[in-house]
Amino acid sequence: MPGFDNTPPAHEFRNYNSWGRTRSPKNILSNHRDGTNPAGTPLTVPTAAPSGGGAGYETENQKFLHVNFTATGAATFKIFVYSYACPNWTPLYVNDGSGGLVEASEALNGASGHFIYNIEGIDRVYIRQTAGAGSATAYLACSTL
**Residue 64 resides in a domain:** yes
What single letter denotes the amino acid at residue 114?
H
Asked if the model's pLDDT at residue 18 lies above 60, the reply is: no
**Residue 117 resides in a domain:** yes
| CA angle (72 as vertex; 32, 44 as ends), nearest 5 | 30
Is-above-0.85 flag for pTM?
no
Q: Give the tens place of pLDDT for each residue, 97-142.
A: 999 999 999 999 999 999 999 999 999 999 999 998 888 999 999 9
45 with 141: CB under 8 angstroms? no
**Residue 116 resides in a domain:** yes
Distance CA 33, CA 24 (A): 11
**Residue 25 resides in a domain:** no
3-state DSSP of 23-40: CCCEECCCCCCCCCCCCC
| 116: containing domain | 40-143
Distance CA 59, CA 19 (A): 9
**Residue 90 resides in a domain:** yes
**Domain harbouring 84, CATH code:** 2.60.120
**Residue 15 resides in a domain:** no
Domain count, the chain: 1
**Residue 8 resides in a domain:** no
E strand spans, the chain: 26-27, 43-44, 57-58, 64-72, 74-82, 90-91, 93-95, 101-103, 105-109, 112-118, 124-131, 135-143
Among residues 45, 43, 52, 56, which one has the least CA distance to residue 130?
Answer: 45
Q: Give the tens place of pLDDT for each residue, 28-63.
A: 998 777 788 888 899 999 999 999 999 999 998 899
Distance CA 128, CA 140 (A): 12
Rg value, the chain, Cα: 19
